[in-house]
Amino acid sequence: MMKVKQVLKRVTKHSLFFPLTCLAIVLIINLIKTPTFFRISLNNGVLYGYMMDILNRSSELIILAVGMTLVVAGSGGTDISVGAVSSVAGAVTIFALVGSMSSDTYRMPYGLAVLLGVLAGMVCGAFNGFLVAKLRIQPMVATLILFTAGRGIAQVITQGFILYVRKEQFKYLGNFIPGVPIPTPIFIATIVVVITVLILKKTALGLYIQAVGINSKAARLVGLNSTLFTFLVYTFSGLCAGIAGMIITSRVYSIDANNAGLNIELDAILAVAIGGNSLSGGKFSIAGSIIGAITIQALTTSLYAMKVTADQLPVYKAIVVIIIVMIQSTELKRMVKSLHHKFLCSRERRWAK
């Protein structure tokens, strides 16, 4: 009995316990409402099902959340420009491929165009990093610049048109590669996560970022270059936004500068928060953010499955998010604990009588 209690305590104390519980609750509700929810079937050589859809659709969010996690950890701020930056990256790639007219022929090798797009994202990130790390502008304000100007830049590149790439191969990245049953975005997200986690585990980067995020003065005095690491996390976030931009544009084989990745930065920040990461910086968990991202997408998909219309969606989403955030609030936990304690005390008193 004692042992069970101890194990239970260890499990509930784990930092991923609450994020996982939240995800589990969302999935269980789905299972009750939609019995076919977990069913995955093979149609036309590709896997279909709600679960596949959730994983597929959450890919770009996962990628952005990974970048956002490091930004939050290393600077105690958020990068609100990632949605706009992915739009810029998409615009650069498609412009490089087809110029300012929709077309079915490439002007340059596909790989090079993708590289240029991702690079554009990185440059945007480096710009944010420069503002935050070197000029010490508040992260919210610094990234607000590209948040607003980014879509304008993308518009300039596309000259205001929605550019289409009418070529089957362009769709591979955001959909399926012929003969592979799993959606490509899941692979890309996995690669990004694995590489990031490897870098964090095999180098001291994770420790450095946390130290800088918690106490940049102390970090400097132990010989860390706080400015450099802050710069790096924003650049990395830009890189992630660039990669996400590739998936987003490939899904719809076009770039709509105004709508590509719209509002996704807010979901990315939310994913970090739902993952149990403190938004004031410091200790972080990439796994938590990934679970957070999947939870958000699971929520969206399941609400659609329950026939909630797209325009009503935000209301329901908000309600669930409020509940999730409240469950994780340490203040609420404390209040519940003290209530529980009071209850125990009063019961003891009654026993005494």
Partner 1 sequence: MNKEKDVLLKMRGIDKKFPGVVALSKVDFTLRSGEIHALMGENGAGKSTLIKVLTGVEELDGGEIRLSGIDSPIINKSPQDAQAYGISTVYQELNLCPNLSVAENIFIGREPKRAGRIDWKTINKKSKEILEKFQIYIDETKPLENYSVAIQQMIAIARAVDISSKVLILDEPTSSLDEQEVDKLFEVMRQLKQQGLGIIFVTHYLEQVYRISDRITVLRNGLLVGEYETSKLPSVQLVAKMMGKELDDLSTLNKDTLQEHMEDREELLEANNLGRLGRIKPFNLCIHKGEVIGISGLLGSGRSELSRVIYGADKPDTGELIWKGKRLTVNAPIDAMKAGMAYLPESRIDEGIISDLSVRENIMIAFQAKRGLFHLLSKKEQEEYTDRYIDLLQIKTSDREVPIKQLSGGNQQKVILARWLLMNPEFMILDEPTRGIDVGTKTEIQKLVLQLAEKGKSIMFISSEIEEMLRVCSRMVILRDTAKVGELEGSELTQNNIMRAIAGGGKHDEG
Contact 128, 265 (CB under 8 A): no
Q: Which is nearer to partner 1, 51 or 214 (CB)?
A: 214
Q: Hey, which residues does 164 pair with through a beta bridge?
A: 254
Max intra-chain CA distance, the chain: 88
For residues 211 and 265, give the distance between their C-alpha atoms in angstroms, rounded to a whole number: 25
Q: Which is nearer to partner 1, 66 or 224 (CB)?
A: 224
Q: Which is nearer to partner 1, 194 or 207 (CB)?
A: 207
For residues 66 and 260, give the distance between their C-alpha atoms in angstroms, rounded to a whole number: 19
* Residues making contact with partner 1 (CB under 8 A): 202-205, 207-208, 210-211, 214-215, 217-225, 282-283
Q: Which is nearer to partner 1, 7 or 218 (CB)?
A: 218
We find the least distance from the C-beta atom of residue 133 to partner 1, in angstroms, to be 14
For residues 303 and 190, give the distance between their C-alpha atoms in angstroms, rounded to a whole number: 25
DSSP code, position 76: S
We find the least distance from the C-beta atom of residue 121 to partner 1, in angstroms, to be 23
Residue 333, helix vs strand vs coil:
helix
Q: What Cα–Cα distance (Å) separates residue 95 from each residue in 101, 102, 105, 171, 260?
A: 8, 9, 12, 16, 15
Q: Which is nearer to partner 1, 224 or 291 (CB)?
A: 224
We find the least distance from the C-beta atom of residue 230 to partner 1, in angstroms, to be 15
For residues 200 and 193, give the distance between their C-alpha atoms in angstroms, rounded to a whole number: 10
We find the least distance from the C-beta atom of residue 129 to partner 1, in angstroms, to be 17
For residues 126 and 81, give the distance between their C-alpha atoms in angstroms, rounded to a whole number: 12
Contact 86, 59 (CB under 8 A): no
We find the least distance from the C-beta atom of residue 222 to partner 1, in angstroms, to be 4
We find the least distance from the C-beta atom of residue 78 to partner 1, in angstroms, to be 18
Q: Which is nearer to partner 1, 159 or 203 (CB)?
A: 203
